[in-house]
Amino acid sequence: MNAIITASDLATALVGDAPPVLLDVRWQLTLATANGEPPFDGLAEYAAGHIPGAVYVDLDRELASAPGPRGRHPLPDLADFGRAMRRAGVSAARPVVVYDGGQGWAAARAWWLLRWTGHPDVRVLDGGLPAWQGPLETAVPAPVEGDFEPVPSPTGLLDADGAAALARSGVLLDARAGERYRGEVEPIDPVGGHIPGAVSAPTNENVGPDGRFLPAGELAARFKELGAVEGTDVGVYCGSGVSAAHEALALAVAGIPAALYVGSWSEWSSDPNRPVAVGPDPQ
């Protein structure tokens, strides 16, 4: 099953006999509050206009638990996550399509969580809301309660020790911007740099100028150059497990399974006992 869907295919599916559940997960990383500006308000963006039938999902409250020692966006409590998904109408036997404002990170976080907890049919709208050519609505739908019960997979999730080990035994990709990987700048976390052995793989290089994913063959070639070849275990991390989900989605488009270190750099860098590498060299 393809992990992404085009806007035209979504429009067709929404008027078909078995339309997907549609989730709007508009969110963006912002430093606005540090600059005295109001933070991004995904719910307000949703209220101003969304794809007809879409239900808003709050990334910070429903796709993550409170920030703390496990990072800025640790895994949500699975019972809470299940309730949020059922409220949105998610059922095990019904397809789900997720979109955001175009960056793709937030939608990928929802995609990854649903897939990791057992939903068999989840796709992300390629290019997000800007790719949608149909009408928008402001009415808030009242979906029928879903029946989805999250059951986490025993694989696909890394903790800090697992990420450290994978950086030595396989390929651990760092999805952040190159300057953060190299430790030249760190606007959020207490320490700059990367997990020793991790390879720089900025997630913005997985998409074209329109925000849509590169063709699967081009993505596969890119990841192969980074060491993600057949028979090699692959993992990915970022700042707090959001853009890394987008990298995991790009890997899925390329046909490469990957595990996600959800705590990511926000967890790793908060522990002074964890080693830190700087510069362009993985080590």
Q: Are 194 and 181 in contact (CB under 8 A)?
A: yes
* Structure tokens, 192: 């700059």
- Residues that are catalytic: 238
Contacts of 118 (CB under 8 A, 6+ apart): 92, 149, 150, 151, 152, 153
